[in-house]
Structure 1
């Protein structure tokens, strides 16, 4: 009798004339499908992981299956899964926590900003377009923002505005305070998407702001002060006008 590799039980089954027992394989999750990619494997795996997250309605903070399990379910190498996961991390879909695992990431425009073409990050034309978008959005939302402002947010706006004034008086820039001021104006709307979008505009604008001539820091501070006073007045048109004037001043400096 010829020798066969296998378990003791499988050899005994052969002796009795029965078909050898095939070792059971772990069950495959029906949410996955074996891949037969025509595109590069890691790109196909990326799309499948995206699909898996959406199909299973995974929420931010939910864990993804381990790398080895994903490789087995998809029928691909672990290196392909690893490359796909890293790509999805760079685009903001997943978050790799060292020593813990991979998780679905909360939404953010930051990865999108990091991958914008270089041509969109330089030049006065791009800055002008960004200003038009910011001005339109902020002025359009001014009425709702005024109605939603909470007393504690007003106090925070006063604090940030005071810091801005102090720095301007010393001849120091106040980019951090500027960013926080505009965020606080709309934070009480409880619209995370809107805040992310405003922040994306702010980042893109300030990364490219070297194209803007130096400005009068005190004049910039007073422009923010006018917006604050107008928002507290409850007068929608006054608030919108203050926002428009704030951005028109920057547009004029771009034309200089």
Structure 2
């Protein structure tokens, strides 16, 4: 495999190595699971030291651009949105003076994304999916009856719902925002939710299912807004 000739190096040697390896992946049209050259090959062709290449690979691995399989080599990763999730969680907690405001922004983003899917979901959600969604809502009710939270069922519900959209990036973003929301809540001591609010949330989930089953986009919009209303109330009460 031919490696690109190194260009003018910005800022630091490691930063340059990161950019050159990324450029190689692009120019060679590598896809998820494809192998990169060995560490020694990268060093020889690009003129970097072994330590600089190792650090560059470590950074690219952290960004989920490559995956290092010890004893096997380095491969192009599936490039999930995990770095985005980690960054948003850290930013929310770090900006203590406006953490609640930023959480509100995350809720706004989740709601906007959900609302944008109404027409498509009304067309694409089939009977089998409706049955599965109803089963998850019933599990939520059981959780409440036992005094338990239903985060696992909630995530499964939203993953299943957006799985019916044709846009894979929307599916990934939806789950990424859900994870940010879920991880930030306990860090801001907002994970204690009243039984009444949990019940209200469950009924909003049920209304979402009913709306997409009937193909009623206006009802879907109202149900989505109702779904996020309790959380908005909690945030507004603490701002």
User: Take 2:35 and 2:123, find their aligned partners in 1: how far apart are those partners?
Assistant: 39
**2:31 matches 1:59:** yes
Please state how far the C-alpha of 1:232 moved relative to its aligned partner.
1.1
User: Take 1:112 and 1:67, find their aligned partners in 2: how far apart are those partners?
Assistant: 27
**2:51 matches 1:75:** no
Q: How does 1:50-199 map to 2 (within 5 A)?
A: 50-116=22-88, 118-121=90-93, 123-199=99-175
Greater relative CO, 1 or 2 (CA 8 Å, sep 6+):
2
Structure 1 length normalisation: TM-score? 0.83
Larger radius of gyration: 1
* Over 4 Å off, 4+ runs: none
What is the CA deviation profile of residues 189-226 of structure 1, one whole-angstrom value per residue up to 9, with x for unaligned ones? 13221111111111111112134352323222222112
* SS, match of residue 171 in structure 1: coil
Identify the residue that residue 230 of structure 1 maps to in structure 2.
211
Structure 2 length normalisation: TM-score? 0.88
**2:191 matches 1:215:** no
User: Take 1:43 and 1:129, find their aligned partners in 2: how far apart are those partners?
Assistant: 32
Aligned-CA RMSD value: 1.9
Please state how far the C-alpha of 1:83 moved relative to its aligned partner.
0.8
User: Take 1:107 and 1:55, find their aligned partners in 2: how far apart are those partners?
Assistant: 17
CA contact (8 A) 1:128 1:254 kept: yes
Could you tell me which runs of 5 or more consecutive residues in structure 2 were left unpaired when the two chains were aligned.
none
Please state how far the C-alpha of 1:39 moved relative to its aligned partner.
2.8
Select the structure that is richer in helix: 2
